[in-house]
Structure 1
Amino acid sequence: MRVAKSRTISPLDPAAAEPFYRQIYDRLRGAIASGLLKPGDRIPSARALATELGLARGTIETAYALLAAEGYIQARGQAGTVVTPDLRLQAPVAGTVRRSDSRVATTSFRPDSILPFQMGLPALDAFPRKIWARLGARCVRAMQPPDMVHPPVCGLPNLRGEIATYLQVSRGIDCSPSQVFVTSGYRHSMELIAHALLKAGDRVWLENPGYPPTRELLRLMRMTSVPVAVDGEGMIVADGLKSAPRARAAVVTPGHQSPLCVSLSLPRRLALLDWAARTGSWIVEDDYDGEYRYVSRPLPALKSLDRDGRVLYAGTFSKVLFPGIRLAYLVVPETQVERFEQVSQAFAGGSPQLSQALVAAFMREGHFARHVQRMRKLYAERREATAAGLESVLGKHVRIDPQPGGMHLILRLQGKRSDRRLVARMHEEGLYGEALTDWFVGGKGASALLLNFTNIDSRRTAEGLARRLVKLM
């Protein structure tokens, strides 16, 4: 058995946007794909490679776990870890730039872990697991053979009805259950929209800064992203009109702009709706955490102002319940229901019926509304405690933006500190953070950290984490 040398791992770049575990993963996968590492070759142990590279062992193990999950390597106990013996790889096409492969691989954007400050996670410790377990057991006991066949591709009727009722009451959206399409997440919702209403070559307005996976999705679907700047009133619609007045669609986060958390002002909401009505364009409203506003009542959805049927409203259960449930929903204009039904029949497989039934029961019995109210109060408290704890330790190094809502804090770095470099160091030390510059097109923007506060239970916890963070600055 040939033993691969650690020189297979080319030097790591601490200034790169990718964390070290991703760089190691990319390099080992590239060595396997190029034939430098052959099937059956043994790779260095996590302990040995961690020592040689001066990294935490957990970093190497994370990279190895990704490679094993994708079938590139296998653990053989005392025999070590080897490249999968029967691995069959296609020969690379001449002239192909392998960098494109890593770009595809990064569309997952966030790790499947629970780290301090990890973005995208609700307060997992405060989820009503006992109620959830009781409802789950009841749903399982009630399951009959008709519930075990293929699920409805547009969503379980009971859940579609509960979502429509909830949106009418809480978000001011007048819609029927037939307009609600249950999806497996934001990406699935965007795929349905693209297949139903858009085509390759279309231009789409995106907020700048804005959610990075949206840019990647459009790129993979061969559409052109048009970055539109954001200020204190949200997307600057006038800039979009100058850059691409005939764009086919706009993707916006009007409740809490992602990531700056500002709200789209009423004049700009009306200007955006007027543009869509005049040009026959579409507006995708991504209301990912619109329930969480702490200085006043949650703002009405942009969709509630839509009189011309140009807004598609995308909501999710990931931020209110938990990401692992993989359920979201899309509200389409009434005139487009038939079209989306056709597209769903062709491209959607339907979400698990048991999960949908459980969420429907959770909503029908009032647990959902009570959970949202509790979380709104809890998040306001944790936001204040986390901000106070961070400021007490990091005060001279950062400035924390005042924000009316959302689930994360924005820490503006003082001086000439690189947010990407700091994020890379945080990941190495078991902390999570995202660099604001990664949310800008071209990576050009002010340096800042995006830190989630929903799982920080006290000011004391925040201060302890801040002391770890200050050592990395």
Structure 2
Amino acid sequence: MPRSSRGVLLPPVTGSRPRRTDVYLALRDAVLQGTLAPGENVPSSRKAAIDYGVSRGLMEEVYSQLVEEGLLERIVGRGTFIAKRATKPTDPDRHEETIQGVSSVSTRGHKLAGNVACRIMRQFKPFNAGVADTTAFPWQIWQRIQARAVRDLRRADMNFTDPRGVPALRRSLAHHLAQLRGVRCAPDQVVVFNSIQQASYLLALLLTNPGDAAWVEDPCYPGARAALELAGTTIVPVPVDQQGLQVEEGLRRAPHARLACVTPSHQFPSGFVMSAERRTALLEWAHRQDTWILEDDYDGEFGHARQPATPLHSLDRHARVLYLGTLSKSMFVSLRLAFAVVPEAMVEQLANIRTQLDAFGAPLIQLAMSRFMDEGHFSTHVRHMRNVYAEKAAVLAEGLMPLANHGWSWEKGTAGLQILLRHPDAQEVQRTAEASGLALHLLSSYRHESAGGDGLLLRFGGLSISAIRAGVEQLVFAAQTMRHSSRNKSSQ
């Protein structure tokens, strides 16, 4: 593709000896389609002629015609520019082609494309902000570390890198997990991914055949269910209660399942911690059936009123638990770093499958993250954010107190970045609250099967204290308004 000395890429033309019409149509289409944007400086006719291998006279004719059509404009002493009013006309044939392309996708494609449960809102408001609070993030330290990582980036790191992850980060993660979560593993057991969903998907590809059963908590995080479905497993929803996954029900529904996907330290979205009895039963089942447990410890660092719950992985004596974690909650969501701790014999197999998907993760960000951990900044930040989120949870719980005697309930001493508020009339409250600008997700939207009772998931991590206070006031008002309205209807 020809390139001007000013850096603007000129559109290519077919043939080794382009004609005037070829050059004209290539430039015109590039302007109308937005490839060359309004205001961009194009090369002079002399330089463009050299790029295309044509005479300068031919380029002058092409430029003059485009100026007459209002697609180019020439400014004496400055050069030739794409006209600022150049617009893209409607192309009926192209529109029809697009429509036909959409209608011809596969049945599977339609089903997958219709699932918007994993789409994240980019505008955060009460209470859809289940992301890390970045206002207290040590940006200056992070920027300095990134700059050092850039300077120290070796030529080898600019080529294909280890699909398991940069060795330095794998060592740092192993040390971090032993310190903050009590997960003891060798660096060679750690594999770095872009997200827990990616890790779950690849592990499901490795460990299951199409159609194999997989236990999934019900309700659960939609991304976990989607990852297993994409891998071709048969989802077996297993209900959750205050003790976590109902193992006995899982045994009744699919005793020979190949996987169980659980969040035992802080069930999403209910917030419950799996009881010791359920943990023992789950581990015994996995050992007995020679099956696997995917432990999603998505926010394990953040316990507010207590120490974070012990990971299931630390209780596993038979190496059946595959531990998954993310740095999105403790750092920031666009970091795109997650990890899995697996048996060493599984690492190379997992890496080979990973190379067939996206080859490897970006080494620069992994090197920076490793240094951030090794120099103690990460543990300092996590300890600080524990206090920040504990304060936010306390403010939210205090604001909800007027609802405590009116059928509403929520988990006391919560952890993480969300609280589940339960009430049979949650749907009506959601409609009333959203009319005043709140963004609330129903518990039922996370269920695979319908069940009695509903609730509202209040995700507060990325909200300020003032936004939480204002939001909870609006929510309480909406709930009280609904209650008064129900009383009036019943008295009529």
TM category, shorter: 0.7 to 0.9
* 1:464 aligned residue: 470
2:241 to 217, 231, 253: 231
CA distance in 2, matches of 1:228, 1:91: 35
Letter in 2 for 1:92: S
Could you tell me which residue of structure 2 aligns to residue 435 of structure 1?
442
* 1:115 matched residue in structure 2: 125
The equivalences for 1:11-160 within 5 A come to 86-87=94-95, 88-89=97-98, 90=101, 92-93=103-104, 100=111, 102-104=113-115, 106-160=116-170
State how far apart, in whole Å, the 2-side matches of 1:338 and 1:418 are: 48
How far apart, in 1, do the equivalents of 2:401 and 2:150 lie?
48
Superposition deviation, residue 187 in structure 1: 1.4
1: CA distance, partners of 2:108 / 2:203:
30
Aligned to 2:3: none
State the secondary structure of the residue aligned to 1:283: strand
Q: Find 2:427's aligned residue among 398, 410, 418.
A: 418
Question: Given that residues 154 and 341 in structure 1 are in contact (C-alpha distance below 8 angstroms), is that contact kept between their aligned partners in structure 2?
Answer: yes
Q: Structure 2: where are the runs of 5+ without partners?
A: 1-32, 34-83, 483-492
The 8 Å contact of residues 401 and 412 in structure 1, kept in 2 or not, is answered as no
2:414 maps to 1:407: no
**Correspondence for 1:48:** none
1:455 and 2:462 aligned: yes
Report 1 or 2 for greater relative contact order, CA contacts < 8 Å, sequence distance ≥ 6: 1
Counterparts in 2 of 1:411 and 1:94: CA distance versus 1, 3 Å: closer
Partner SS state of residue 261, structure 1: coil
Partner of 2:285: 275
Mapped to 2, the partners of 1:279 and 1:336 lie a distance apart of 18
2-structure distance, mates of 1:195, 1:424: 43
255-264 or 430-439, larger mean C-alpha shift:
430-439
Structure 1 Cα separation of the partners of residues 448 and 161 of structure 2: 39
Q: Tell me if the contact between 2:432 and 2:478 (Cα under 8 Å) persists in the aligned partners.
A: no
CA contact (8 A) 2:130 2:462 kept: no
- Deviation larger for 303-312 or 388-397: 388-397
Question: Match for residue 217 of structure 2?
Answer: 207
Structure 1 residues 239 and 136, CA, compared in 2 at 3 Å: closer, same or farther?
same
Q: Does 1:192 align with 2:198?
A: no
1:375-432 Cα deviation digits (max 9, x unpaired): 1111111110122124358975843332431211112235x3416x826963x76533
| Structure 1, unpaired ranges of 5+ | 1-39, 41-75
Query: In the alignment, which of 396, 408, 413 is matched to residue 386 of structure 1?
Result: 396
Q: CA deviation at 1:135?
A: 1.1
Q: CA deviation at 1:118?
A: 2.2
Give RMSD over aligned pairs.
3.0
In 1: Cα distance, 2:163 partner to 2:419 partner: 37
Q: Secondary structure at the match of 1:86?
A: helix
Aligned mates of 2:387, 2:90 — CA distance in 1: 50
1:352 maps to what in 2?
A: 362
Name which of 303, 312, 325 aligns with 2:313: 303
- Which has the higher mean CA deviation after the structures are superposed, 347-356 or 275-284? 347-356
In 1, the alpha carbon distance for the partners of 2:90 and 2:397 equals 46
Q: Normalising to structure 1: TM-score of the pair?
A: 0.76
In 2, are the aligned partners of 1:393 and 1:463 still within 8 Å (CA)? no
Give the Å deviation of 1:302.
0.7
* Aligned-pair CA distance for 1:207: 0.8
Matches of 1:297 and 1:262 in 2, distance apart? 14
Q: What residue identity is the alignment partner of 2:214?
A: V
Larger Rg: 2
Partner of 1:10: none
- 1:330: Cα distance to partner? 0.7
2:331 maps to which residue? 321
1:146–1:135: structure 2 CA closer, same or farther, 3 Å change rule?
A: same
2:190 pairs with 1:180: yes
Q: For 1:95 and 1:171, locate their aligned partners in 2 and report how far apart those are by CA, in whole Å.
A: 44
User: Structure 2 length as normaliser, TM-score?
Assistant: 0.73
Give the Cα separation in 2 of the matches to 1:97 and 1:190.
Answer: 20
Q: Distance in 2 between matches of 1:344 and 1:463?
A: 44
Cα distance in 1 for partners of 2:446, 2:352 equals: 34
